Structure 1
Amino acid sequence: MLWRLPLLLTALLEAQIIPTVIDDFPPALSLRVKWKHDSAALGNTLKPDHLKKAPVIHLDRVESDALAGAQLSKHMSYVIVLTDPDAPSRDDPKWSEFCHWIAASSQLEFSSKSKSKHHLKDIIKYKPPAPPPKTGKHRYVFFTFIAANGTTKKLHLSKPEERKHWGSDHAGHGVREWAHENGLIPIAANFIYAENDKQ
């Protein structure tokens, strides 16, 4: 399914992902995230047991004025990330943000027919969502990034030393700061909620 841009941005705002996790941005692609039994659908709630293996990522074109008119090229590298801003809980996010996944591809592949599968190389291995007991629902947010300067050269990305705070000593430090440090801009997003059965 291709997300309509107002629906995506509304969902991100209502979930307070904008502006808490990322600044407002104009999406250029729709990001589909599929596990064996489930898919991300802009804030649906999924069982952690269904999220054990890294999902398959699909990117689809949407009509957008993103990138100030620049054309997305298949030769551009892109980055997929997964972050949890609610670690260990939304009421007490002292470990926020928690980096669950960083993966990159050297070729931006997309298909209006939604048939493309993407071959990603892990920078930080996928750590499946595992919200602790009695911490309520966590937001697990996926983003697609590309280089802000539009380069088609290989990206040299920093690897966070720790997952908590994306390797920073500062609470709340996360994907926005990491992306800025690496010269990246967001072009797509999706998210889910997940919670422990013990509440």
Structure 2
Amino acid sequence: MAFQIETPAVLSSLATANLLPSPLIPQAFKSSVQLSVAFNDKLVAAGNLLRASDCKVAPTVTFTAEVNANANTTYTLMLVDPDAPTPDDPKFAYWRHWVVSSIPNSGSSSDDAAKSGKTLTEYLGPGPKDESKPHRYMFLLYREPEGLKELTKEDVGGEEFVQRRSFGARKWVEKFGLELVGVNWMLGAGDGWKEEEGKSEL
């Protein structure tokens, strides 16, 4: 079993945001990697707020190596929105923004782990409407089971706008035996959203 790296700030923030527990993050979850995400010089840091214009281009993703993981271990990275189209009416959750599979264990030493994997869903930046409260965006890193066949775009679904919504993320993860090992998350708001006009209760 991989050594569990305690990340109290992330876990505490997930609980405060009602993401721990949630359909994708079980109550007993403990990180075994530190998952870092950065949009240029803006870090994703346990629920901090970024604007849509900050996130137009795919971020840089890095993660620490899992203790005792073998050289053939691979990972899947997923970015989803549980608050689409708005936190008050999340009828299109989960919105699938990005999926990258077959990230090699060596990706943990890469400057950008996502580039070493196979993109199943091309990155589509967050785009909440200005009148919406901020959305919660979840970056989830999963260990792939040994012997998993190489996943394809067909395994995850289409990339048209309407095909990304209402993604059955939990069933998809369970279908392919993926095990959650790392989480980070942020709040995303439209460039015109004014905090004093719509503070969110997360």
Give the TM-score of the pair, scaled to structure 2: 0.79
Aligned to 1:108: 105
Find the partner of 1:34 among 10, 33, 38.
38
**The one of 18, 40, 48 aligned to 1:44:** 48
User: Quick check: 2:65–2:105 contact (8 Å CA) kept in 1?
Assistant: no
Instruction: For residues 25-55 of structure 1, give each alpha carbon's deviation from its aligned partner in whole angstroms, at most 9, with x where no partner exists.
Output: 2211010011113111010001110111111
Measure the CA separation in 2 of the matches of 1:198 and 1:8: 25
CA distance in 2: counterparts of 1:5 and 1:152, whole angstroms: 30
Distance 1:62 1:122 in 2: 22
Contact persistence 2:6–2:31 (CA under 8 A): no
TM-score where L is the length of structure 1: 0.81
Q: What is the Cα deviation at residue 137 of structure 1?
A: 0.6
Partner AA of 1:180 in structure 2 = E
Of all paired residues, the percent bearing the same amino acid is 26
1:62 offset after TM fit, Å? 6.8
2:50 and 2:188 in contact (8 A); partners too: yes
- Superposed structure 1 runs of 4+ greater than 4 Å apart: none
The 3-state SS of whatever aligns with 1:8 is helix
Cα separation, 2, equivalents of 1:10 and 1:18: 9
Equivalence for 2:8: 6
Unaligned runs of at least 5 residues, structure 2: 195-202
Give 2:189's aligned residue.
195
**Structure 1 residues not aligned, in runs of 5+:** 64-70, 167-173
Q: Which residue of 2 aligns with 1:84?
A: 81
Match of 2:92 in 1: 95
Q: Which residue identity lines up with residue 57 of structure 2 in the other structure?
A: K
Give the aligned CA root-mean-square deviation in angstroms: 2.1
After TM superposition, give the deviation of residue 160 of structure 1 in Å: 2.3
**Alpha-carbon deviations, 1:68-91, whole Å to 9, x = none?**
xxx312311111100000001111
Aligned to 2:166: 165
Report the equivalent of 1:178. Answer: 172
1:77/1:155 contact within 8 Å kept:
no
Among candidates 151, 154, 161, match of residue 156 of structure 1: 151
